[in-house]
Chain A
């Protein structure tokens, strides 16, 4: 059973606000990821981390930033939200376990910027 949590689940916020999407996992996984996805559409990797103090940009350019100060925590921040940021944001983690490298996903945050 995967234990990865995201808060908030839903967020409606006005343009220009600063927001932080939280993601935590209790599995001790070293790798964590952020994806952006429009409903039912492809997943786009926007950030990933291979461990504490390691962050990299993903395949899709994003104005968001991330930090990895603790193994279990990988928050995503938007300094100034815009309507184009409206999307679902999914956090995932992976690590060595039973020989596999599957990623386990959180429930997602559905962000709407008005």
Chain B
């Protein structure tokens, strides 16, 4: 069975501080996909990144960076020099390989609320 754990319920930082969101996952599949989504106060979920299990290369996109480590089953997300607009709930999610009957379904973590104050 799949499971995604986001142990941090809420993180509060002052603007310009870095913030790292933890995500730990469990799966029996050798091929799987990991995702991060952002949900601002307006409510919509915004797709941020997808990472395939066979690609452990870390990624940087502007102020965002992701650290994928299969050895520890973690897919952490860092926001550098946080801004007030980064205030949102961030969800980590896991999807099984397309060879299974339930592929395409996402298993979401409980989310981490990030509060950035000026």
Q: Which residues of A contact B (CB under 8 A)?
A: 2, 31, 33, 39-43, 45, 48, 50, 58, 88, 90, 92, 94, 99-108, 110
Contact = CB atoms under 8 A, between A and B. Distances in A.
A100 B33 contact: yes
A108 B40 CA distance: 12
Contacts of B44: 90, 105-108
Label chain B's interface by main secondary structure: strand
A8 B89 CA distance: 23
B106 A103 contact: yes
20 contacts: A40-B39, A42-B108, A42-B110, A48-B104, A48-B105, A50-B104, A90-B44, A90-B45, A99-B52, A100-B33, A100-B50, A101-B95, A101-B98, A102-B35, A103-B104, A105-B37, A105-B46, A107-B42, A107-B44, A108-B43
B91 interface: yes
Contacts of A103: 47, 104, 106
Given A2-B47, A90-B45, A105-B45, A43 B108 contact: yes
A104 B47 contact: yes
Interface residues on chain B, size class: 20 to 34
A40 B89 contact: yes
B43 A88 contact: yes
A101 B35 CA distance: 10
Contacts of B46: 105
Contacts, number: 58
Contact of A41 (B50, B105, B111): B111
Given A107-B43, A108-B44, 4 more contacts: A41-B111, A90-B44, A101-B95, A110-B43
Contact of A101 (B33, B89, B91): B33
A113 B113 CA distance: 27
A40 B111 contact: yes
A102 B91 CA distance: 13
A94 B47 CA distance: 12
